[in-house]
Amino acid sequence: MELTTQLIERKPIERLRESITTTPGRMRLLAVLIALSAVGAGVVTATAATARKHAAHAVAAQTEPLLVEADGLYASLSDADATAATTFLTGGIEPVARRRRYVSDLRSATSELSTLSHQVGNDPVARAAVSTVVAQLPVYSGLVETARANNRQGFPIGAAYLRQASDLMRQTILPASGRLYALEARRLASDYGSGVSTGTYVAVALAGALALAVLIVSQLYVALRTRRVFNVPMLVGSLILLGVVVWTLVGFSAEQDALSRAQRKGSDSVEVLSATRILTLRAEGDESLALVARGGGDQYVADFSTVNSVLGHTGGRGLLSEAAGVSRQTGSAKSFAGFVSLLARYRNVHGRIAAFENSGEFGDAIKLAVGTRAKEAPLADRLNASLGAQIAVAQRRFRQAVGDATAALRGLSFGIPVVVAVAGVLALFGLFQRINEYR
């Protein structure tokens, strides 16, 4: 018993002792380390590159387009609410252009809804939000049509139907679409986060440094033991490995830079401008609904001033100052300043309308708001057009930057394993040249 155990156990122990004490043994050990560290570096680098590529690709192809759809839905519904109220205010014979705008709002909302319902995935919040909008939108449009039919007969009950439609829109449909929008905005932020994660960067740098250190130590050992200063294959392998690490990190850095540009110059603009557009539309709806209620619309008057203060001023604390900051970052300060001056004119006209309302002169207030020589409605249209154009430009900036981000990582996840394998094989080849000399 004792003898056999010793016989069996002696061999591996001796082999181990041999590999630690003799030069070729140590070289073999180094070969194993080189192979392991090269495979490790290759796997870590390729995995990190793939993770980043996925994140950048998700931003470009999924989350941002979905955010744009969610924003489109939110804006279409807000515009439908404002347009329905303004159209109602113009009386029984409604302007064809306004009617068309309302119908086209509903059409785009429906198309955005169908895209979203296919792509939001299985998130329960998103599914619930989509199904709320899907279920309530027909109810809403039914109420608007009933309001129109009564208005055409000159019946005051039309205004009550419009109020109910708008309440449904503002208390049920818009909040659901807002939840959807917030969800998509947070998803985008988290994809940006994984696209620029420090973890992948550090992992690649550490794995690369480790593999290089093993190679350098091996070469130093070989140089000391064999008196041959240069081992060409090992040197080339080391340089290739260094090249791969640098290539990856430079690629990461360029991708990171492009992604952060996509956010700062693209989607930040889109988000801030979209929020501004939705709030502006809400204020326009408030103005019309207050006039439709003819003195009975205190809640709309209050909502107008709340929304107005949330928008604030470019120099103050509100959304406009945030948007102004973003526009300076993106070099679009000029077009934003155009919007701000339009808004100032709109607010000025609103002040005159409010003064008419306060003194019970609704006829004059309505004339100023939507009459044939109205001041307010054309300004509101220009506000929306200006924001729409700026959002489109921001969207183009986003597309370009996010294209740069995916381009920066092109070829990495395929190239890294191949090149690292070549470097590893070269290094091992060089080492085995020396090991074989001991036979």
Partner 1 sequence: MRGRRRHLLVFAWLALAGVTLAGCGSTSNDAMRASLRALQTPTPSTASTKKPEPKVKCADATASLRPIGALQSHGRMPAGSFMSAIQRRGYLIAGVDQNTLLFAYVNPFTGRFQGFEIDLLRQIAKSIFGDPNRVVFKAVTTAQRLPYVQRGRVDIVADAVTMNCYRWREVSFSTVYYDAGQRLLVPKNSRVRGLGDLAGKRVCVTEGGTAFKYLAAYRTAHPRHHPIASPRPQSTDCLVALQQGRVAAIASDDAILLGFARQDPYTKIVGPRFTDEPYGMAISRSHPDLVRFVNAVLARMRSDGAWSALYRKWLGSVAGPQVLPKARYRD
Spell out, one character per residue from 238 to 277, where the chain touches partner 1: x when CB under 8 A holds, - when not. x---x--xx--x---x--xx-xx--xx---xx-xx-xxx-
When the beta carbons of 217 and 355 are compared against partner 1, the nearer one is 217
- Residue 194 contacts by C-beta under 8 Å, 6 or more apart in sequence? 51, 52, 54, 55
* Minimum gap (Å) between residue 208 Cβ and partner 1: 8
Residues 89-148 that bind partner 1 (CB under 8 A): 91-93
36 binds partner 1 (CB under 8 A): no
Q: Which two tokens stand for residue 383?
A: 């506000």
Measured distance CA(256)–CA(244) in Å, rounded: 18
The interface with partner 1 within residues 374-433 (CB under 8 A) comprises: none
Dihedral Cα 421, 423, 425, 429, nearest 10 deg: 180
22 versus 359: smaller Cβ distance to partner 1? 359
Indicate which single residue of 121, 138, 199, 295 sits in contact with partner 1 (rule: CB under 8 A). Answer: 295
Distance (Å, rounded) from C-alpha 405 to C-alpha 254?
Answer: 7
The nearest distance, CB 91 to partner 1, in angstroms, is 5
Q: Tell me, what DSSP letter sits at residue 90?
A: T
Nearest residue to 394 (alpha-carbon basis) of 330, 339, 328, 333: 330
Q: Is 298 in the site for partner 1 (CB under 8 A)?
A: yes
With CB under 8 A, what is the number of residues at the site for partner 1?
80
Among 199, 296, 316, 331, binds partner 1 (CB under 8 A): 296
The residue range among 7-15, 32-40, 107-115, 163-171 that interacts with partner 1, by the rule CB under 8 A, is 163-171
In whole angstroms, give the CA distance from residue 182 to residue 174: 12
Residues 6 or more apart whose CB falls under 8 angstroms from that of 170 comprise 81, 282, 285
Of 43, 155, 333, 389, the one binding partner 1 by CB under 8 A:
155
Contact letters (x/-) for partner 1, 188-207, by CB under 8 A? xx--xx-xx-x--x---x--
Task: For residue 148, give the amino acid letter.
Answer: R
Answer whether 208's CB lies under 8 Å from 424's CB: no
Tell me which residue of 356, 276, 359 sits closest to 321, measured CA to CA.
276
The verdict on 86 binding partner 1 (CB under 8 A) reads: no
Opening angle at CA 277, ends 273 and 281, nearest 5: 170
* Contact call for residue 163 and partner 1 (CB under 8 A): yes
For the bound state, the minimum distance from the C-beta of residue 143 to partner 1, rounded and expressed in Å, comes to 9
Minimum CB distance to partner 1 smaller for 19 or for 247: 247
- Encoding tokens for residue 40? 């490790």
Residues 324-383 that bind partner 1 (CB under 8 A): 326, 359-363, 366
Q: Which is nearer to partner 1, 70 or 120 (CB)?
A: 70
The span from the CA of 269 to the CA of 275, in Å, is 10
Among 150, 314, 327, 332, binds partner 1 (CB under 8 A): 150
